[in-house]
Amino acid sequence: MTMPWGASGDGVILALLWRETVNGLRSRSRADLAWVFLGGGFLVVYGLADVTAVLHANAALARQSARLWSVWLPALGALLGVGGGPAIARLALGRARAPFLVAAPISLAARRRMAATVAWAAAAPPAAIVAAAVAGACAAVHKPDAVVWVCAATTAFLLGFAVAAGLAIRRGLRDGFGPETIRLNRPGRAHIALPRVLDAGRPAWIAAWAWRLQAGRLAISAPMAIAALLGAPIVVLAVGASVAQHRAVPATLAAVTAGFVAFAASLRFHPLASPVLRSAPITFARTWFRLMGLPLALSAIVYAAPAGAAVLAEPSQWAAPIGGGAWMLATEGAYGVFAAFFATSPALAMVAFAAALALSAYESAEFGQTILFLPLGLAVWLWRRAERRFRHG
Amino acid sequence: MVESRLPDALDIRDVGAGYGGRRVVDGVSFAVARGDVLALLGGNGSGKSTLLKAITGRIRLMAGAVAIDGVDLAARPEAAKAGFGLAIDPAELPMNLTGRQYLELVASIRRCAPNAWPCGDVVDRLDFGRWLDQPIVAYSLGTRAKTSIAAALLGAPPLLIFDETLNGLDPLAAWEAKAIVRELAASGRHGFVVATHSAEGVPLLCDRAVFIAEGRLLRSWDTPALGEAAAQPGGFEAAVVALLRGMSRRAA
């Protein structure tokens, strides 16, 4: 298969990614490809048909809402761009750190251009999808000036993408591009050692491996500190609301949300793809449970304080935090399966899980009762595929 | 008293394997008894790595069967994988862990102590103790290879698989690693598969060899044949080069 662009100059990383994608597709069995394209295609068509029906049913309301078109739609576009930009930047930086490129006499500016070329090429397909989605929505509700709304949403997406990808590329190249994906501990950064006892189960040290803790030590980073500083006040406010109103619900919601966020942010399954484990005498289930262990414990710790506050705020509503905790645990279990299937792409796992939940929520709203067969069925199927891949390739 | 014969460390029959429905390896059969050191030879892209991936359960068998220490890999993968130690490609090691943590990880999986080697203290013999508490990312290629070898030997599995592992070692470590291979093979409790491009060293280390080309077993040497080929200095290497040249001419 030939590349649609040259493999020289700024297009080198793009060419590498293209070849990786083609080789990845070629290495899949026909059955796998059929599942992905036919199954995925069916879900997309089904989702589109449903969304179109909803838009038709609410055409007048959607058409007349000025805020929806002028604020929420561009904001959503920008959010999508901000979410996708760093992921693409990481892909580009990963290839820019390939040993043969590190050794090549290429200036920092040239490396930046190479990464930017990848970012722009990778932004084109999702930008086209955003444009097509908005154009389709305009057609479905007969919104006038469709071109303006399409341009607004697509521009917002591209701006968000460019800013986020640009910052990530700049930071990534500034941090150096040694041949390893992990840099040695930088001096001056605070470290917390992961106690041996927390990571002693079979296989030992797998959490430190999954979290890429260097020699088992956790470096305190700016994003971690910011997330903690932003998250803590929200939880405190929710607990305060519960105490003031004698209602368990606000603190329970905060507990479940914070617990799940802590779990999802700390869950990493990339060791499942490593030959170290895949050629070892250990079952997929045991490895999966070990990798789930510390994120679940972290989630429980984050959940416990606001959930306890919820019970204290209104003891008669004790069922709310317990029920919330059970839902959180079930959701985390299902998400853990998605994350194990997309072992090396946590962002893709999150997107797939969110899409399954969104479709399930939509179907539940449509039929007036909770419908979980889609995420549960998907989780069972993904578990079987991930297990088979782990055991036999 | 009747002595029961131990199963072969490795027995592969008519193995076919590949990617995406395309067979890279087809119809390969051989066995490695305990005490054997088998060299796996072949040109670049001949299918050696694919064959080793199939043997170690990292890609699905498309045909044939693999038995490790008498256990069928397809039917009981976890039990079969307990029967071999694979020296992982140094680039695939968990870079953020220290060598000690990696050994503890492998030992915990194999349910043995992190120094349960069948041939003395391997860290000491390969001389990388001073690196053990550094992250693997800071290791040289040779030190990573030593770590891989030490981990593969943990728990004394009957089959040991080295895929180009000896190439990155310094002369002293290479000499010591080869001494370990010979020592363990001589004990009669371990068999080895050593994939290598270094044909000149094969007669000194191995007692059998197979040559893979285009995914098929093209030629094999048993102990007498290997001895005969190596009777003249450089004789075995010349035989391998002749095979490779023949393949190259045929492809052209």
CB proximity under 8 Å: A 84-143 to B: none
Q: What tokens appear for A13 in the block?
A: 């990383």
Tokens 């395309």, residue? B22
Q: Report the C-alpha gap between A313 and B164 in whole angstroms.
A: 65
Best of B109, B132, B140, B159 to substitute, by most chain A Cβ atoms within 10 angstroms, is B109
Q: What pLDDT is recorded for position A9?
A: 58
Does the model's ipTM exceed the 0.90 cut? yes
Per residue in A354-371, pLDDT (tens digit) is 888 888 887 787 777 777
B97 has a chain A CB within 8 A of its CB: yes
> Is the predicted pLDDT of residue B193 greater than 80, yes or no?
yes
Conformational region of residue B89, where left means phi above 0, alpha means psi within -120 to 50, and beta covers everything else: beta
Distance CA A108, CA A116 (A): 12
Among the ranges given (A240-254, B119-133, B201-215), the one the predictor scored with the smallest mean pLDDT: A240-254
* Segment A290-296 mean pLDDT: 95
Residue B70 bridge partners (DSSP): none
Cβ within 8 Å of residue A6, ≥6 positions away: A15
Looking at the predicted structure, is the pLDDT value of residue A248 above 70? yes
- Report the residue from B81, B96, B133 with minimal CB separation from A280: B81
| Most confident segment among A245-254, A290-299, A371-380, B235-244 | A290-299
**SS3 of residue A31 by DSSP:** helix
CA dihedral sign of residues A312, A314, A315, A318: negative
| Among the partner residues A27, A214, A277, nearest to B135 by beta-carbon distance | A214
B108 chain-A contacts, CB cut-off 8 A: 201-204
Kindly report the average pLDDT of chain A as a whole number: 83
Q: Do B96 and A184 touch (CB under 8 A)?
A: no
The rounded Cα A295 to chain-centroid distance in angstroms is 16
Residue holding tokens 């990614």?
A: A17
Nearest partner of A387 among A289, A314, A301, judged by Cα: A289
Q: Check CB contact of B56 with chain A, cutoff 8 Å.
A: yes
DSSP secondary-structure letter at A193?
Answer: E
Give residue B4's pLDDT. Answer: 58
Average pLDDT over residues B43-66: 93
Calculate how close chain A gets to B78, using CA atoms only, in Å: 4
With a pLDDT cut of 90, the percent of chain A lying above it is 32
Highest mean pLDDT among A123-127, A186-190, B56-60, B143-147: B143-147
**DSSP per-residue string spanning chain B:** -PPPPPPPSEEEEEEEEEETTEEEEEEEEEEE-TT-EEEEEE-TTSSHHHHHHHHTTSS-EEEEEEEETTEETTT-HHHHHTTEEEE--GGGS-TTSBHHHHHHHHHHHTTS-TT--BTB-HHHHHT-GGGTTSBGGGS-HHHHHHHHHHHHHTT--SEEEEESGGGGS-HHHHHHHHHHHHHHHHHTS-EEEEE-S-GGGHHHH-SEEEEEETTEEEEEE-HHHHHHHTSSTTHHHHHHHHHHHHHHHHH-
- Poorest-pLDDT segment among A108-117, A260-269, A287-296: A108-117
Mean of pLDDT values over A224-243: 79
Structure tokens at A125: 């397909």
**CB within 8 Å: B58 and A279:** yes
Closest among A327, A31, A369, A124 to B62, alpha carbons compared: A31
H helices of A37-72, where? 40-57, 59-64, 66-67
Q: With an 8 Å Cβ cutoff, is B65 touching chain A?
A: no
> Pick from B61, B94, B109: which is nearest to A280 by CB?
B109
Joined tokens for residue B161: 């698989």
Give me the total of CB pairs closer than 8 Å, taking one residue from chain A and one from chain B: 116
Chain A residue numbers touching B79 (CB-CB < 8 A): 281
Which candidate from A182, A213, A274 shows the least CB-CB separation from B137? A182
Judged by CB atoms closer than 8 Å, whether chains meet at A204 and B104 is answered as: yes
Confidence category of residue A175, pLDDT binned at 50, 70, 90: low
Q: Which two tokens stand for residue A236?
A: 């405190």
Q: How confident is the model at residue A3 (pLDDT cuts 50, 70, 90)?
A: very low
Cβ atoms of A213 and A285 within 8 Å: the answer is no
Calculate mean pLDDT across residues B101-128: 96
pLDDT above 60 for A6: no
Closest CA to B102 of A204, A68, A351, A210: A204
pLDDT at res. A200: 86
Task: Give the model's pLDDT for residue A359.
Answer: 80
- Closest residue in A to B113 (Cα–Cα): A204
d(CA B82, CA B14): 23
Query: Residue B21: closest CA among chain A residues belongs to which residue?
Result: A29
pTM score, whole prediction:
0.81
B111 touches chain A (CB under 8 A): yes
Residue A171 has pLDDT above 90, yes or no: no
Among A93, A129, A88, A127, which residue's Cα sits nearest to residue A108?
A: A93
Residues in chain B closer than 8 A to A393 (CB atoms): 53, 57-60
Residue of B137, B148, B164 to mutate, interface with A, max A Cβ within 10 Å? B137
Residue A190 is predicted with a pLDDT of: 62
What is the predicted pLDDT for the residue at A65? Answer: 85
Please write the tens of the pLDDT for every residue from A212-223.
Answer: 888 777 766 676
Is residue A375 pLDDT above 70, yes or no?
yes
Nearest CA-CA partner of A282 in A206, A385, A335, A209:
A206
State the Cα–Cα distance between residues B122 and B132, nearest whole angstrom. 12
> Would the CB atoms of A204 and B107 count as touching at under 8 Å?
yes
| Mean pLDDT of the residues in chain B | 92
Token duo for residue B252: 């052209």
Task: Please judge whether A392 and B138 are an interchain contact, meaning their C-beta atoms are less than 8 angstroms apart.
Answer: no
Helices (H), chain A: 12-27, 30-34, 40-57, 59-64, 66-67, 73-96, 99-103, 108-141, 146-174, 206-210, 222-245, 249-266, 275-278, 284-313, 319-341, 346-367, 373-392
The CA dihedral of A331, A333, A334, A337, to the nearest 10 degrees, is 150
Contacts of A19 (CB under 8 A, 6+ apart): A3
Could you tell me which chain B residue has the CA closest to the CA of A24? B20
Q: What pLDDT score was predicted for residue A366?
A: 76
pLDDT, residue A18, reads: 83
Q: What is the pLDDT of residue A207?
A: 93
Find the mean pLDDT for residues B83-97. Answer: 94
Task: Check A180 against B137: CB less than 8 A apart.
Answer: yes
Report CB contact under 8 Å: B20, A275: no
Closest CA to B168 of B159, B158, B156, B177: B177
Q: Which among A184, A276, A280 has the least Cβ separation from residue B92?
A: A276
Please tell me the distance from the alpha carbon of residue A337 to that of residue A264, in angstroms, as a whole number. Answer: 12
For B223, the token pair is: 């102990």
Provide φ and ψ at B171, rounded to 5°. -55, -40
Least confident segment among A181-195, B24-38, B202-216:
A181-195
Q: Does A380 touch chain B (CB under 8 A)?
A: no
| Average pLDDT rounded to a whole number, residues A31-60 | 81
For A268-286, b where at least 16 C-beta lie within 10 A, e where not — what string?
bbbbbebbbbbbbbbebee
A186 touches chain B (CB under 8 A): no
pLDDT digits (tens, 9 = 90+) for B118-167: 999 999 999 999 999 999 999 999 999 999 999 999 999 999 999 989 88
Contact A29 B59 (CB under 8 A): no
